[in-house]
Structure 1
Amino acid sequence: MNNDLSPRPSRDGTEQLVSQRNLTLIIYALYILSIFGGITALVAIIINYIKRDDVRGTYLESHFTWQIKTFWIGVIGGVVSFLLMFVVIGFITALIVGVWVIYRLVKGLLVLNDGKPIA
């Protein structure tokens, strides 16, 4: 009798790490796409929180933390910039926040490409 309740063999550690790395790359891509349409950032942050435990203990954990911090600081910076637009300086702060977010995404991608944790 075939027992379907038996545990499946776990995936090879290397295969799982490659899969998680690809997911991290996809999340970076979603954040970059959000520059053109913000909804993809929401999808990315949800994936970050759902999959965070899966990457715990790997070098990818630092990338997830980096992505989450980039999202939240970018959102806060965007809101503050929007509020400051009534006194014109908000346009300058919005540009600064935008450049900062792009910098963090590009830096994260480059470090991920090297297979290293991000500091």
Structure 2
Amino acid sequence: MAVYILYALSYFAGVTAIIGIIINYVKREEVAGTWLESHFRWQIRTFWFGLLWAVIGAATVVILVGFAILFANFCWIIYRIIKGWLNLNDGKPMPI
């Protein structure tokens, strides 16, 4: 749950997402083969794809399409944080 909180806080202090991804990679072996492994995979993908689209969005802001990309990325990340958090709270694995 801590990583979902760190990702949510990253909109106010970006460094928390970096702390979250480090925690994911350090603790990943401990959850291998459990239902929590799907949450770690979900969180790692959220970070890397979110970063990719943030870079693409920032690079294309000059031609204005970047604002739409950044907004879509924001919505997508918030969706993934909420969905992951709710599934974790219910003790359910993430669909992968």
Fold match, TM over 0.5?
yes
2:36 equivalent in structure 1: 60
Q: Does 1:76 align with 2:52?
A: yes
TM-score by length of 1: 0.79
CA deviation digits over 1:36-71, x for unaligned, max 9? 111000000000000000001111000000000000
- 1:17-36 equivalences under 5 Å are 25-36=1-12
Alpha-carbon separation, structure 1, partners of 2:55 and 2:27? 27
Alpha-carbon separation, structure 2, partners of 1:67 and 1:26? 11
Query: 3-state DSSP class of the match of 1:101?
Result: helix
Among the aligned pairs, what percent are the same residue? Answer: 49
Superposed structure 1 runs of 4+ greater than 3 Å apart: none
Query: 3-state DSSP class of the match of 1:58?
Result: coil
Alpha-carbon separation, structure 1, partners of 2:4 and 2:79? 12
Q: CA deviation at 1:102?
A: 0.3
What residue identity is the alignment partner of 1:61?
E
CA deviation digits over 1:78-109, x for unaligned, max 9? 00000010101101110000000000000000
Matched length: 95
Q: Rg bigger for which structure?
A: 1
Structure 2 residue runs of 5 or longer lacking an equivalent are none
Which structure is higher in RCO with an 8 Å CA cutoff and minimum separation 6?
2
Match of 1:91 among 35, 57, 67: 67
Query: 3-state DSSP class of the match of 2:23?
Result: helix
RMSD: 0.5
TM-score by length of 2: 0.97
